[in-house]
Structure 1
């Protein structure tokens, strides 16, 4: 079954790319290429710009880890996490799994790292709801929100799920129960069973969940990152010769994020993200050629930035496997 799911995920990537190319060709590739060509190489500045909102996001994670790792290191790990989740055919938690592994290079206590990532995911969900709600309000306030009511309804109807997840985690004891279940299924000597320290993870989670001020600070940093990230839309459209207001840029980005996260099962959000960006951009009065070019530019930035992050990850992995580095790590232990 796992093999079938992996095969489908790998097949979905090229299928999505082909569908995207076919869509652009159908809409008129010449006009889209022309408007991108007029913007020129200046568009490449969007690649390093993405480091700024990601830095704010990493600061939120740093708050949850109580400064156990430097901001610069966590920024790099956050970049790799995002690249894994968005560019590789992995499950939606693939980036978080890689993030836990990399963070342990600096934070030796695995339970603390895992607890911080779990709470960060909960905070991220809350930020996404708040950001999406802001986008809906901005769209409705600009009198361009035709059809937005259905997104608002979906947001409200899905809200009990993350609230229930938070309440269940706050109750505690879940990972201890998972560890006992794994012990019965796989046996106490199985590597998977030995790798789950349920009681310690529950205790670390409980300690973090009892700190609402820490969660609020992480929420504020992440939301700031989302708001800063919306400037990518504003800047890109300005370069394409179709400027919009900051409010419209936030609405486009927020609503696109809402649609993309609703379709989390689609690998890399291919076609879904492009269709959402185009729809909400035209809703805000952007011309069709720029509305088609915008998601392509966003995908270009995402791919270039993500490939750089993945390359640095592999370089770091190779460097750590060198005999001298392994011996030094062993001495530090």
Structure 2
């Protein structure tokens, strides 16, 4: 796996270097410099998306969207952690404050965007930290699986809407046909992922992990027992899945505002509808390049292709992608440091063993 990641990373890097040489490094950097203080606006604006995604995660994980936050809003409070765990044991629902999920959402994005983990390592790390916080391993893993699935489905809906709008705004061409085919493939992947969970894929994975753990003598893995039932239970709780889906869609839609702002600051103004299409297709290209660390080169290529349909010069599309990468760095680097801090700050109640289930 490491070898595949290394090869994919080198190919992505080679593609990115080729595009820089092809379209001119000086021209691309000049467009980025033209943004000036606008880059800080873009970086700050992303905070809204982080909070929305964190709230969607909290809702699907807790199974109780209407529950009030704990009186103490200090997300690092040991007393809050204790009350959170007690509430989880009593009612099977998370009472963790939104602040905890915001921090973990930052960690998720930082790991997925900046480390060679195929864009899923952040979910693994954040699930473990969420379990440590008092939610329990089974509940934390189930909530994260549901959130990841709902996020993927919301991205598919967003991408399909973007491709549909693209067909309305421009004439049909080979490029639009390819984008439509990619959208259909993405839709099939999303439907398969969701359906497989209902058909028992999580249960199979659970049994496999338990057998491996038993063979290797790992005691902590017992905490995931019943995760399949937990996943289905979270999907069925009230209208939480639909609420989470709506919030995630809003978060994706705000990404088009980010594109609009970047193009505006670069002096290449386009309508919000065009920005919606660019963001939808650009994020789909990034997801398609999950095997490449940071989707390096793949993401830039996606913006160049869709940007050309709206008369955006390749160097401007490259600059757009790089400003978004600057935003990822601005959020990601502190988030990696935050991850290391949380590993020590969010300690378990029983040293050396994570609390995996309620007594």
- Same structural fold, with TM-score higher than 0.5 when normalized by the shorter chain: yes
The aligned counterpart of 1:40 is 36
Give the counterpart of 2:47 among 51, 59, 67. 51
Give the counterpart of 2:130 among 103, 106, 124. 103
Summarize the alignment of residues 1-333 of structure 1 with structure 2, pairs less than 5 Å apart. Answer: 5-10=1-6, 12-13=8-9, 16-17=12-13, 19-66=15-62, 68-143=95-170, 146=173, 147-172=175-200, 174-182=201-209, 184=211, 187=214, 190-191=217-218, 194-197=220-223, 199-211=225-237, 213-319=239-345
1:208 CA displacement? 1.3
- Between 289-298 and 20-29, the greater mean CA deviation after superposition: 20-29
Q: Structure 1, residues 251-293: CA drift from partner, whole Å, max 9, x if none?
A: 0000111222222212210000011112212212223432221
For the structure 1 residues 190 and 91, does the alpha-carbon distance in structure 2 shift closer, same or farther, using more than 3 Å as the test?
farther
The CA RMSD measured in Å over matched residues stands at: 2.9
Structure 1, unaligned runs of 5 or more = none
Q: Is the 8 A contact 1:132 1:258 kept in 2?
A: yes
Q: Structure 1, residues 153-179: CA drift from partner, whole Å, max 9, x if none?
A: 23324534432332332244x555444
| Number of aligned positions between the proteins | 323
1:78 CA displacement? 0.7
What SS class does the counterpart of residue 61 from structure 1 fall into? helix
Distance 2:14 2:186 in 1: 32
Q: Is the 8 A contact 1:252 1:280 kept in 2?
A: yes
Q: Is the 8 A contact 1:107 1:113 kept in 2?
A: no
Q: Is the 8 A contact 1:35 1:240 kept in 2?
A: yes
What SS class does the counterpart of residue 91 from structure 1 fall into? coil
Distance 1:185 1:236 in 2: 48
Structure 2, unaligned runs of 5 or more = 63-93
Q: Is the 8 A contact 2:206 2:227 kept in 1?
A: no
For the structure 1 residues 70 and 151, does the alpha-carbon distance in structure 2 shift closer, same or farther, using more than 3 Å as the test?
same
Q: TM-score, normalised by structure 2?
A: 0.80
